[in-house]
């Protein structure tokens, strides 16, 4: 898969795709339906399969003061799109120029003149253009005007309810990673560079890898059973705290994951941690560090039971 960061002056090989259009934060099951529609069109037309998203997310451009909300970082998004078979991933810059395109100008200048699209797949609730005036019906009209076909994916419902990025975010904020996973089709995962902290966990017998939350939506603060992928592909069971460590001195919100049966130096390396199950809320232990350590070891036993890891 080739990642393309603009729409101007593209080579012929980077144009002419059947594309799925959206922000695709989380690439949930509804997003996958849009991409499936684009894939079917690509096969019908003998065209490459393209996926269009934007960086930063439009909400970050218009509301930079808003709390973090993302379900994926750009690297995770690209990897997921690639697993879905995309040939071209257009990660287009969302700045002043893009924000000021009318819906018609966006289609004409970006999709047609820039990308040379042959088909555009959108979701039932897609909006585009300045003021979010573009709609699926508008895209159908523009397809007729400019000569590309259009498909509109219907809403997806499953046992978790309405499949949407909002549903996944709400579930994570409520401490329900299983519901978020049902919406996304896989566990929510926090990826980041391991930072050196106070090393208090190591001193207490459970060394942790610390990763800041950054732009991710903040899940409910508490303890989770987790699985973590290392840079070399190893997948390790663990238990993690997400929060501010009220017992030992508050820090900025972060993920602190204890990887079972692992004691290697991974400072500065990038890891990705799946939240599998919520075990308990973060609390300030009245009994101090001794009570906290006892509870952490119980958390580890609970996590190993859920994950099927050796006791």
Instruction: Express each pLDDT in 8-19 by its tens digit.
Output: 999 999 999 999
Nearest-5° angle of CA 204, CA 210, CA 215? 150
Please check the confidence at residue 136 and state whether its pLDDT lies above 70. yes
Predicted local distance difference test score (pLDDT) of residue 196: 82
Backbone angles phi, psi at 193, to 5 degrees: -85, 135
Same domain as 284, residue 147: no
Instruction: Express each pLDDT in 256-306 by its tens digit.
Output: 999 999 989 999 999 999 999 999 999 988 778 888 889 999 999 999 999
Same domain as 214, residue 150: no
DSSP 220: P
Instruction: Express each pLDDT in 27-73 by its tens digit.
Output: 999 999 999 999 999 999 999 999 999 999 888 888 888 899 999 99
Mean pLDDT confidence for 198-221: 84
* CA atoms of 305 and 176, how far apart (whole Å): 18
Same domain as 150, residue 216: no
Same domain as 82, residue 218: no
pLDDT category at 249 given cuts 50, 70, 90 is: low
pLDDT category at 91 given cuts 50, 70, 90 is: very high
Query: Domains in the chain: how many in total?
Result: 2
Q: Which residues constitute the domain of residue 53?
A: 2-155
Please check the confidence at residue 310 and state whether its pLDDT lies above 80. yes
CB 38, CB 49: distance < 8 Å: yes
Nearest-5° angle of CA 191, CA 197, CA 200? 120
Element (H, E) at 86: none
Same domain as 13, residue 125: yes
Predicted local distance difference test score (pLDDT) of residue 307: 96
Tokens, residue 54: 């934007």
Same domain as 262, residue 123: no
Nearest in space to 197 (alpha carbons), one of 273, 261, 281, 254: 254
Same domain as 94, residue 145: yes
* CA atoms of 27 and 34, how far apart (whole Å): 10
This prediction has a pTM of 0.93
Instruction: Express each pLDDT in 141-163 by its tens digit.
Output: 999 999 999 999 999 988 777 89
Query: Is residue 171 assigned to a domain?
Result: no
How many other C-beta atoms can be found within 10 angstroms of the C-beta atom of residue 189? Answer: 21
Instruction: Express each pLDDT in 175-195 by its tens digit.
Output: 999 999 999 999 999 999 999
Same domain as 227, residue 121: no
Same domain as 199, residue 290: yes
Please check the confidence at residue 7 and state whether its pLDDT lies above 70. yes
Tokens, residue 105: 């100008």
Please check the confidence at residue 251 and state whether its pLDDT lies above 80. no
**Residue-wise over 240-267: b if at least 16 C-beta within 10 A, else e?**
bbbbebebeeeeebbbbbbbbeeeeebe
Predicted local distance difference test score (pLDDT) of residue 96: 93
Predicted local distance difference test score (pLDDT) of residue 205: 67
Q: With DSSP H G I counted as helix, E B as strand and the rest as coil, what are the percentages for the chain, rounded to 5? A: 35, 25, 40
The CATH number given to whatever domain includes residue 140 is 3.40.50.620
Query: Is residue 151 assigned to a domain?
Result: yes
Query: Is residue 66 assigned to a domain?
Result: yes
* CA atoms of 198 and 176, how far apart (whole Å): 29
């Amino acid at each position: 898969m080739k990642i393309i960061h603009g729409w101007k002056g593209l080579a012929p090989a980077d144009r002419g795709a059947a594309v799925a259009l959206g922000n695709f934060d989380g690439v949930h099951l509804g997003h996958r339906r849009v991409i499936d529609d684009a894939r079917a069109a690509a096969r019908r037309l003998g065209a490459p399969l393209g996926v269009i998203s934007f960086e930063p997310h439009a909400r970050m451009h218009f509301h930079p003061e808003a709390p973090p909300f993302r379900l994926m970082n750009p690297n995770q998004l690209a990897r997921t799109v690639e697993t879905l078979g995309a040939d071209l991933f257009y990660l287009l810059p969302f700045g002043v120029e893009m924000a000021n395109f009318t819906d018609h100008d966006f289609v004409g200048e970006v999709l047609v003149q820039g990308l040379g699209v042959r088909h555009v797949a959108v979701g039932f609730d897609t909006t585009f253009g300045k003021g979010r005036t573009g709609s699926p019906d508008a895209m159908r009209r523009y397809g007729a005007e400019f000569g590309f076909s259009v498909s509109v994916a219907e809403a997806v419902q499953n046992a978790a309810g309405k499949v949407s990025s909002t549903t996944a975010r709400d579930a994570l904020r409520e401490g329900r990673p299983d519901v978020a996973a049902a919406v996304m089709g896989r566990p929510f995962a926090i990826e980041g560079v391991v930072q050196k902290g106070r090393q208090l966990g190591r001193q207490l017998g459970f060394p942790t890898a610390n990763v800041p939350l950054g732009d991710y939506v903040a899940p409910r603060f508490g303890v989770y059973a987790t699985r973590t992928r290392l840079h070399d592909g190893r997948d390790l069971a663990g238990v993690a705290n997400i929060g501010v460590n009220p017992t030992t001195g508050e820090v900025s919100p972060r993920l602190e994951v204890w990887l079972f049966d692992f004691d290697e130096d991974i400072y500065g390396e990038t890891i990705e941690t799946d939240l599998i199950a919520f075990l308990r809320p973060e609390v300030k232990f009245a009994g101090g560090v001794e009570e906290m350590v006892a509870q952490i070891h119980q958390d580890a036993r609970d996590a190993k039971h859920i994950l099927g890891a050796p006791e």
